[in-house]
Amino acid sequence: VCYELLTCYSDCESEDRPLEASGDPENIHRIISTKCGHLYHFNCLQGWLMQDKTSSLFDKCPNCGTEVDIGDCWKIYPSGDEETQNLEIAIKEVKDARKQLEKSALAVDILQYDAILLF
């Protein structure tokens, strides 16, 4: 199962989960909920459930082990990608703050060096 951000537009395609697996382009990145309440991309969960029919491991929720039938899952309709956008903004702010902190640390080092030279 993928660990990408749960958005309806996330590109979580990989060799073991081809986009054609769902057969329905509308479901490729559709977010669904299992009966146990865990959220997945439809295509990713379907790929997980279809991996190995000889093992009971793949008939279960990857998070909690509750039995899962893809037909018993509910589609989730987020109002938009506001949470993803907010997360991306927060990540950019943290990166900018880290750069500013590095610049400030460098400035402090330079001032300390100058102070040593003066004495």
Q: Which two tokens stand for residue 96?
A: 């900018």
Tell me the Ramachandran region of residue 23: left when phi exceeds 0, alpha when psi lies from -120 to 50, beta otherwise. Answer: left
Q: Which two tokens stand for residue 105?
A: 């640390």
Question: Which residues, other chains included, contact 8 with Cβ-Cβ below 8 Å and sequence gap of 6+?
Answer: 29, 30, 31, 78, 81
Per-residue pLDDT reduced to its tens digit, 14-68? 434 433 444 455 555 688 899 999 998 888 888 888 886 666 667 888 889 899 8
This prediction has a pTM of: 0.49
Per-residue pLDDT reduced to its tens digit, 81-116? 566 677 778 888 999 999 999 999 999 999 999 889
